Amino acid sequence: MSETGTGDGDVEEPETTTINIRVSRRQLEEIDTVWKEEGYTSRSEFLRHAIRDATDHPGASRAMLASIAAEEYAMRKGESEAVSRDDVLAMMDDDEQ
């Protein structure tokens, strides 16, 4: 790991560290598609935000994320309707118990 000095402004820590990870070609293509579509300035910025979300909000369990993805898929196929904010909060409360 190497120290790279200051962050790019969206990182609160004064220094960042370079890490290396291995992903499949398919995963890399998906990452590149998403960071561009979501308006991130770089792949690194997108991955920092993804890591921050995973570590700052560990309550977003894999089961909850899978449920969200399944519901999104059903909505896109016209097999489900959107849920309210209150419904989402109730689901999160149920997931934490």
Domains and CATH numbers, the chain: 1-58 (1.10.1220), 60-97 (no CATH)
| CA neighbor of 92 nearest in space, from 64, 58, 51 | 64
Distance, CA of 53 to CA of 56 (rounded, Å): 5
According to the per-residue pLDDT averaged within each range, which of 7-21, 56-70, 78-92 is highest? 78-92
User: Is residue 3 a contact partner of residue 14, using CB atoms and an 8 Å limit?
Assistant: no
pTM: predicted TM-score of the whole model, two decimal places? 0.49
HSE-up of 68 (CA within 13 Å, CB side)? 12
Distance, CA of 58 to CA of 46 (rounded, Å): 18
User: Is residue 3 a contact partner of residue 13, using CB atoms and an 8 Å limit?
Assistant: no
Residue 11: what pLDDT? 44
31 confidence band (pLDDT: 50, 70, 90): very high
Per-residue pLDDT at 36 exceeds 90: yes
